[in-house]
Amino acid sequence: MQQLDFIGPARDLAEDLSFSYVARWKEETGGRAIGHFPVYVPQEVIHAAELLPVGVMGGWGLLEVDYADSRVQSFVCSITRSTLELGLTGKLDLLDGMIFTDICDVARNLSGVWARNFPQMQVEYLHLPQNVTSEASAVYLKRELERLKGRLERLSGVEVDEDSLQESIGLYNQQRELLERVYKIRRETPWLLPAHDAYLLVRAAAHMPVEDHIGFLRRAVEEVEGRSAKARDNIRVLLMGPFCEQPPLELLKIVEEAGCYVVDDELLPGYRWYTSSVPTDGNALESLTQSYLERARLSSVRFPKKRRREAILDWLKEAGASGVLFCSAKFCEPALYDYVLYKEALEAADVPYMHLEFEEKMSTFESVRMQVETFVESILFA
């Protein structure tokens, strides 16, 4: 199948550890950029403050970790060490700040290490509510968003009003709708857009202003929708686990080559956090709060409304998947703890699953290929 036009540029962006797109944006606009560690940040609030949110996702296997080992333990996940290495080697000097959220204890500690090592940056830590069913959570989260808004205003020197917040929400809704089209293609015609190409499309959001990403996605989706390709006899799976540290692109390729169609996944969840558009007809921060509490996807770093056991079975049904591939980053506790709960639910419902561990610097994939092929055969010939 011929390579899609957007793949080359999207891969260049993903591999650009110097963030040249961001540097160009800063030069052209005179604006400021704030990095954020993966999973969720309220990008709408950052955008409304006229700051550029930049997704910082570690070294993706393209960076040797030398200096970071003097600041964090060697037994933490790769993304933590390589993100710190990016900072210590000056690759993030173009950022004016960094935001971390309470996804896990390692990310929490990294925010402290960051503040100590990069005093020139404004470091923010967003405390998200753990109990989403308590009435107090909405009050608390709205206050936390207000606090962040104030801190971002201080960084940019721009006062954020209700109109600018609504406008930003509207833009991110457009991005969400296009990303939903990408995932609709994955669910309905996965042979038109391989999982690793879809991933690169989403990942481009980490480097680009949302306005550029919307145009990029629109062109890419039109290109994919106009293409034809033959369906393969692959089995449909959900890919769970890589919500924070990013798996090597080669691993995603091998999963499909070995006979799976990844019809939905937990990759880069921050860009698809809400299950529907954020309303633009009420108070903006209240709408973001309600969307976070009521309409967020299942994630290991957020306490769910529905029990995890039920939620994974519902997701499986919605995606029309017949199995689950757990792909956890080495030393990622949230992913490994949830795996235990999910696997019990899948075993009780007689759903096939398999578990793989990955790390950024992984370079041989043959054993992964063999494991996935065996998994596929066990389903096909059951």
Tell me which residues touch ligand SF4 (CB under 6 A): 77, 79-80, 103-104, 106-107, 244-245, 301, 329, 332-334
The backbone torsions φ and ψ at residue 149, rounded to the nearest 5 degrees and listed phi first, read -55, -45
Of 45 and 107, the one with the shorter C-beta distance to ligand SF4 is 107
**C-alpha 155 chain-centroid distance:** 25
Buried b (16+ CB within 10 A) or exposed e, 251-264: bbbbbbbbbbbbbb
CB of residue 71 to ligand SF4, shortest distance in Å: 14
Q: Are 87 and 118 in contact (CB under 8 A)?
A: yes
CB of residue 244 to ligand SF4, shortest distance in Å: 3
CB of residue 73 to ligand SF4, shortest distance in Å: 12
Of 7 and 115, the one with the shorter C-beta distance to ligand SF4 is 115
The backbone region for 30, taken as left when phi is positive above 0, alpha when psi lies in -120 to 50, beta otherwise, is left
Of 271 and 375, the one with the shorter C-beta distance to ligand SF4 is 271
Element (H, E) at 195: helix 195-203
Question: Rounded CA gap, 204 and 16, in Å?
Answer: 11
Of 332 and 356, the one with the shorter C-beta distance to ligand SF4 is 332
Of 254 and 332, the one with the shorter C-beta distance to ligand SF4 is 332
CB of residue 114 to ligand SF4, shortest distance in Å: 13
CB of residue 128 to ligand SF4, shortest distance in Å: 13
CB of residue 374 to ligand SF4, shortest distance in Å: 27
The backbone torsions φ and ψ at residue 82, rounded to the nearest 5 degrees and listed phi first, read -75, -25
Q: Identify the CA nearest to 23 among candidates 60, 54, 56.
A: 54
CB of residue 336 to ligand SF4, shortest distance in Å: 9
CB of residue 166 to ligand SF4, shortest distance in Å: 31
The backbone torsions φ and ψ at residue 286, rounded to the nearest 5 degrees and listed phi first, read -65, -40
Of 77 and 345, the one with the shorter C-beta distance to ligand SF4 is 77
Angle, CA 238 vertex, CA 236 and CA 240 arms, to 5°? 155
Of 206 and 214, the one with the shorter C-beta distance to ligand SF4 is 206
- Residue spans of alpha helices (H) in 209-350: 210-225, 249-257, 284-294, 308-319, 333-348
Contacts of 238 (CB under 8 A, 6+ apart): 262, 263, 264, 265, 312, 315, 316, 319, 321, 323, 324, 325
| 24 burial type by CB count under 10 A (0-12 exposed, 13-18 middle, 19+ buried) | exposed
Q: Which pair of tokens denotes residue 315?
A: 């997701």
Of 248 and 323, the one with the shorter C-beta distance to ligand SF4 is 248
CB of residue 357 to ligand SF4, shortest distance in Å: 12
How many angstroms separate the most distant Cα atoms in the chain? 62
Q: Which pair of tokens denotes residue 241?
A: 């686990």
Of 81 and 272, the one with the shorter C-beta distance to ligand SF4 is 81
